[in-house]
Each structure stands twice: as C-alpha cells, then as structure tokens.
Structure 1
C-alpha cells in the first residue's frame, strides 16, 4: 500500500466569523469512524449558529457515497430539529458533480439551498466597494480577532456593557463582539452608507440581534455624551488627518469610568523572511505614501500620547503581530495583494510616481507574499492596541 493513502487527504473547518463550515480535498473513508472529528465539528457548528449556516464544498474534489450520506443526514436532521435554521451549500461550477449531488438535498428540504460559487451566493458577495476590498476587510478582521478576543477583557470588555463601535466599517467586529461577549447594546457607527448596508445585511442573514447600525460623522457624532461603558475605534484614527477630533468625540460619548479602545498600525514594521530588504523598503515607502495624503499608517506606537492628550487616564498599551503562522497563510497573502492593488495602484498613480518606482514598490509586496506562502517563511503585520479610562 502506498503510505500516502494512509494520510488525511481532506480538511474540515468552521469559520465563526462567516458562519461557514467547509470541507475540501478527497473524502473517501473506508469506515465512517474516519469522519468522526469532521462530523463532530459540523454538529458543533450547527449548535452555534443562528439564521444561516454556509456549507462550503467548492474545493471538495471527491466524496464517496458513504461520506455524502453521513454529512447529508446531519444536515437533514438539523433542518427538522431547527426549522429556524437555513443551510446554503456553496458549490463550484468547476466541480460540477457537487452541484448535482448536493442539489438533491434542496429537493428534500426547503431550508436547504445550493448555490454555485460563480453566482452571488453570499451576503454582500456582489457588493464590492473600493475594487473588492470588502472580502479583504473580512479577512483582516478574522486575522486580528484571534488576538483581540483575548486582549479586549483587559481593556474594559465584559458581558452586559453598553458599547459603541465607531468607524465600524462592514460591521464584522461588532458581530464578533456580540457573539463572544454579549454586551447588552452595541451602537455601530460609520460614514459609509454602503458599508452599513452590507453590515445590516450580514446581521439579518445571521440573525444577529443587539447591534444598532447608525450613519454618522465620527468627528461630529449625533450621539449623547456619557452613555457608553466602552467605545472602540479600530484601524481608523490612522486614516484621518486630524485624529484628535475623533478622539474628542470618543471621549465625549464615553461614560466617566468607561474606556476608549483604539487599534492602529505601524506599517514600516511589517516583516518578512526571506527577501527582508525588499519588503522593508516597500513598507517604509507605504508610510511615506500615506503621509503624502495626510494619513499616518505609523500611528500605532503614538497611541499613548494621543489618548493622554485627549484627557484619558490609566492608559494601557500593548501590541501583537499578525503572522502567516496564525491561520491560513493564503489569507495573509490575499491581504497583502489587496494592499498592493490599492497602494501601488490608485494611490501611487495619484501621487504621480514613476513606472520604475511603482515596479520596485510592487516587488516588495510580491516578496512579502512569497514570504507568507513559503514553507519556511515568515510574514508579520504589527498592530498596537491602546485604551484609556475617562476620569470620574
């Protein structure tokens, strides 16, 4: 027997951020016991979700009948036990048999639908802002959440609080906080109507309650003062030319004794091995590019100063490094590719950079992707977390 046949040739995982159970590879067990961990993971996912569970099989290349019936039975039983739950099975036209095989389930249960990846199957999938940056924002949140979920309790997060997430973007952070910590109320505010529409759609699809999505200008919010136990503002002060105006508002709406929590970056400290010199040069240039447009992608280590000058006390600062070892290295590579498209594309062109400069600029991003995907490589992206308490 070929030893390769004894190795696991399929992968099952659950992504709580997307409420998605995925299975990929070749699933041809000789005995159902081989599927035990995957079946347990699917059952656990069903127990956790509300609204919609996505079952992603678009990278499933082979599956024998025993495996198909095992997974199908769990889904069908869940439909009968929980009529409130819907299943959307994501297939691919490239692997046509998956659409035909799983399509049988939709004929049995009305709460099961099958959508091909090439179609608009996912909440907001067809809604792309800034050249398709929405999926990348979701990936970035997934990557940072692995760290922040442990960090947040040290900065005032606890069940039952009233919190505001300012500059909430597409709403992923608010959803994760609601699921993990169960605040009594979350107000999520952003100036982008399209991002808020996306966030509301995801919350509706996933049956997420307790989040109030609000349109507003973070520098002049129509929110009453002294009403939130925790006010968060993530990856946003760095994009404003006058972050002190935002901090003034975060301070105003925070209750005395409550905390203001911010996260920001220092892009020139992005790391990669191999090809470290090329990577370092490019991210130093990213900082200069942002400065040209009056934004500060280096703001992270300056957080204590900004919070202190805003009038906050008991300042707490820590940092973490998102790396290609945290999860799927391809996620990190996808984020870097999106940075390249924006920074070396529209922004560099608008600044008037030469073709020769842009080629070298792009090379650093490509080398960072190479480092992220290399079996012996390392890629890092540093984030600074800081919070301060509003005086009583």
Structure 2
C-alpha cells in the first residue's frame, strides 16, 4: 500500500513475517493513516513466532503517527505475550533507534534490532582508522590504471555520478577533478571515513561533492537518478553482495552504467620468493572466507552483474605493480595488509603462532620483492561494468 500522495509505503513480506515501512509518515490526524495502522495491526495479530517491523527506510515520522503506531504495538504485545515483535532500525536514521528503544522498554516482548550495528562480518577490520593512510596509497596506485579504464566503461564529463561505499572519499575527489560531473554523491557507512573525506575535500576546496552517511544495502536515495554508479573493492567484503547490487541497479538510470572493482587475492605475486608469497595470498583468501568475505570475487564480476539484471557487460583486469610509481608505496600497502590480516584477523580466527609466523613471512617476502632492484610484485584487480536496460 501507499498513502498520502506516496509520501510513504507499507507492505507485508510473508516470507520473512516482516512489515516494511518507508518514506515520511506525517499525518495531521490519526484517521489519515488508518489504513496503515490497520495493516500493522492485522499482520501482528495474524502471525505468531517472531514478527518484524522494518523501519530502516522510514526517514520521518511525526508525534501523531508515532503515538498511534506505539499504541498498536503495545496492544498487540499485550494481546499475545508469547509472540515476539522486533523493530528493525538503522543507525543511518539517527532518531529511529532511540524512539523505538524507549517504547521497547515498556513491553517485554518488543525489542529493537539495529540492523547495521554489525553491518557486515569484516566491518571492524576494514573500517579501522589506522588503515586510512594506506587506503589513500592504494587509490593512488589504482588510479593510474582506472583513469584510463573508466572512459571505456562510459564515464565522461557532465554525468550525475554516485560513488557508493566511498570510504575516505579519495576516489570521488579524483573523479570530481578529472571528469567534472554535473552531480557527485559519495555515500559510506563509516562516520570516521566520511569525516576524513570532508576534511580532505575542504583542504582541496572541492565543494561539489555531496558526502552522505548511508547504508549501501538500503540507501535513502531515489530510484533511477544517476548516470554512472561506482562501487569499488566493496562487494567483496560484504557477505551478501547481491543486496548491494540490487541497490546499485535501483539508483542507476535506465541506460546508465554501474562500475565495480574487485580483487583475486590468491593471484597476488612476486619474485623473488614466489612460492612463499603464493602460499600466503592463497591463505589470505581462505582467511577472508572465514569472515564471510570473498577477495576472490574479481573474475566473478561478470556473472554477478548479469544475475543482477545488467546487460552490455564489460570486464577487464589490470595488475598494480611495484613499477607503478614509487615501489615504497606498494611496500607500505603490503605491510598494512600484514598488520591487519596476520596481526588481527588471523589472531581472531584462532590461528597458531607457527601459522601466523609463516603467514607473515609471505608478506615480508612480498615487500622484499617490491623493493628489490630486480624484483617484481603484483596485485590483480578486475574492473567491470553493466548497463541498466532501457
């Protein structure tokens, strides 16, 4: 159902026993939302076990609506004390959790689940603030390749662009300066990364980038509004990449393109000490898999885009190497990988000291290869894009 000039929508998903509310609910009188309240009441009464009220995309609700909704929830809680009602909120909508938690405090069988408090399994590793300088170095290394690749995938000046999972915003700032978009929205779920991105943009006087806090799998962005949507090195760290692809598809205009990059970590290579390096990066792929992340995703990009409904798919790969600029940059990146992968992730998985010692040695050998005057070190990346059909 939709109401009040489509300001909000409400429907029930029987598969998940979930009532989904979205938009802005701001009635003048309770009677204005009588149909909504009846829908909520009916599905709460008809279903047992756990029933979810999903308000992740409910951006506004006035006191009239909240009080009326609260009364329905309270009545249904007391009518069936053994049935659980879970309100699913998001930290992206700041007021939502606090309001519903206050309500839950008075009803034993009503609880609040903050959907993105643990947004994806590897969040604490990849959003560590100490990783920020290395992310900048990584982007500097990949940009040498991507600035040539992006036009082949349809990026040109004057487009409306969204950079989803923008991280520290360095890629967005490079795109802004190089391609002069008509609009550029850069969205991420890490508050610290966005704060850093805004500081850098201010430092370089880049006033046209709209840095936005948001959940990439449930974006508060309108349908079909961007000509070109980018999502780099991000699908591979989410346990449900298909959810992100659905959202990237949704916000892209028909005829527009979505551009993604992903890695295949087991193909990182180096000489000398190739066997030690090969073993370590094969173990990196297994380590990420343990935390429900897939750093082998690169070659799968074509099928991922096709399954999400895109056509006219383009796919190419490139190798970032120690020959791309200063070899010390690559060495710094590898050392940062070692600190996070061997120093945090392997420890958390419970790996033995002997395994971690051997694991670290492969990174050290990769650094040696990167800095050796006759050495070679490589990091492979796949770039792919698909068109949203007209």
> Which residue in the other structure is 1:223 paired with?
221
Counterpart of 1:289 in 2: which secondary structure? helix
Gaps of 5+ in 1: 1-127
> Which residue in the other structure is 2:330 paired with?
332
> Which residue in the other structure is 1:143 paired with?
141
Q: 1-side partners of 2:127 and 2:185: how far apart?
A: 23
> Which residue in the other structure is 1:208 paired with?
206
Q: 2-side partners of 1:134 and 1:216: how far apart?
A: 19
Contact 2:311 2:387 in 1 (8 A): yes
Displacement of 1:209 in angstroms is: 2.2
Match of 2:318 among 317, 320, 343: 320
Contact 2:127 2:190 in 1 (8 A): no
Displacement of 1:129 in angstroms is: 6.3
> Which residue in the other structure is 2:238 paired with?
240
> Which residue in the other structure is 2:356 paired with?
358
Match of 1:384 among 382, 385, 388: 382
Q: Provide closer, same or farther for how the CA distance between residues 131 and 213 of structure 1 changes in structure 2, counting only shifts above 3 A.
A: closer
> Which residue in the other structure is 2:121 paired with?
none
Displacement of 1:177 in angstroms is: 0.4
Alignment of 1:258-273 (within 5 A): 258-273=256-271
Alignment of 1:107-146 (within 5 A): 130=128, 132-146=130-144
Displacement of 1:132 in angstroms is: 1.6
* Deviation sequence 1:105-138 (CA, Å, 0-9, x none): xxxxxxxxxxxxxxxxxxxxxxx96262111000
Q: 1-side partners of 2:198 and 2:127: how far apart?
A: 15
Match of 1:179 among 177, 180, 184: 177
Q: 2-side partners of 1:132 and 1:226: how far apart?
A: 36
Contact 2:129 2:192 in 1 (8 A): no
Q: 2-side partners of 1:324 and 1:228: how far apart?
A: 35
> Which residue in the other structure is 1:306 paired with?
304
Counterpart of 1:311 in 2: which secondary structure? coil
> Which residue in the other structure is 2:369 paired with?
371
Displacement of 1:210 in angstroms is: 1.4
In the superposition, the TM-score normalised over structure 2's length comes to 0.67
Q: 2-side partners of 1:209 and 1:390: how far apart?
A: 29
Q: 2-side partners of 1:350 and 1:194: how far apart?
A: 23
Q: 1-side partners of 2:271 and 2:207: how far apart?
A: 43
Contact 2:155 2:228 in 1 (8 A): yes
Match of 2:290 among 289, 292, 298: 292
Q: 1-side partners of 2:210 and 2:294: how far apart?
A: 29
> Which residue in the other structure is 2:36 paired with?
none
